[in-house]
């Protein structure tokens, strides 16, 4: 039996004050899901933990910094797949981030675009399979509970 390689990645569910999810559209050259929508995130480097990875990836992919206290662990998803006949596993460390910045501050660094989507719009998108599973889990859990992890902003 072939032992598939396990990749460790961090991913972020970024949600704004209107409860919309920020997603990235991958470019046509992205090996695991060309032209598909996905969460932001990436591979955990040897010198990093999962939270440091998501901070780095968010900076690389959207040009933003989020303080460590704004990044909350949500759950892990082990995704198994097949790419050109080769089995692989991806262990996703999923975090929740409340987006309280201006959209104009987003500077796309990877992929071909980004957008905020409401829950009912997500099912119409061509999502990467792990993103779809993660968001299903997120919406099956009461995500208002996740938002309560953060203190209320002063007006």
CATH number, residue 94 = 3.90.79.10
Q: Is 3 exposed, middle or buried (0-12, 13-18, 19+ CB in 10 A)?
A: exposed
Please indicate, yes or no, if residue 155 is contained in any of the structural domains.
Answer: no
Please indicate, yes or no, if residue 98 is contained in any of the structural domains.
Answer: yes
Please indicate, yes or no, if residue 34 is contained in any of the structural domains.
Answer: yes
Number of domains, the chain: 1
Q: What is the pLDDT of residue 149?
A: 53
Farthest CA pair distance, the chain: 59
Q: What is the pLDDT of residue 132?
A: 93
Better pLDDT: 67 or 144 = 67
Question: Which band of pLDDT confidence, cut at 50, 70 and 90, is reported for residue 1?
Answer: very low
The kind and range of the H/E element at 23 are strand 21-25
pLDDT in tens, 111-154: 889 999 999 999 899 999 899 999 998 888 755 555 555 555 44
Please indicate, yes or no, if residue 78 is contained in any of the structural domains.
Answer: yes
35 pLDDT above the threshold of 70: yes
Please indicate, yes or no, if residue 52 is contained in any of the structural domains.
Answer: yes
Which range of residues forms the domain containing residue 87?
A: 5-147
33 pLDDT above the threshold of 80: no
Query: CA-to-CA distance for 143 and 151, rounded, in angstroms?
Result: 15
Please indicate, yes or no, if residue 102 is contained in any of the structural domains.
Answer: yes
Question: Which band of pLDDT confidence, cut at 50, 70 and 90, is reported for residue 58?
Answer: very high
């Amino acid at each position: 039996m072939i032992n598939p390689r396990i990749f460790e990645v961090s991913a972020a569910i970024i949600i704004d004050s209107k409860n919309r999810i920020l997603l990235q559209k991958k470019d046509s050259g992205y090996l695991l899901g060309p032209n598909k929508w996905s969460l932001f995130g990436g591979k955990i480097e040897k010198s990093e933990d999962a939270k440091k990875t998501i901070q780095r990836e968010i900076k690389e992919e959207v040009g933003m910094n989020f303080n460590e206290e704004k990044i909350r662990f949500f759950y892990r998803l082990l995704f198994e797949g097949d790419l050109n006949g080769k089995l692989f596993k991806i262990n996703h460390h999923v975090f929740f981030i409340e987006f309280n910045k201006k959209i104009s501050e987003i500077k796309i660094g990877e992929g071909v675009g980004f957008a905020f989507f409401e829950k009912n719009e997500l099912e119409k998108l061509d999502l990467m399979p792990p993103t779809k599973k993660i968001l299903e889990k997120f919406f099956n859990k009461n995500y208002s509970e996740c938002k309560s992890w953060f203190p209320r902003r002063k007006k």
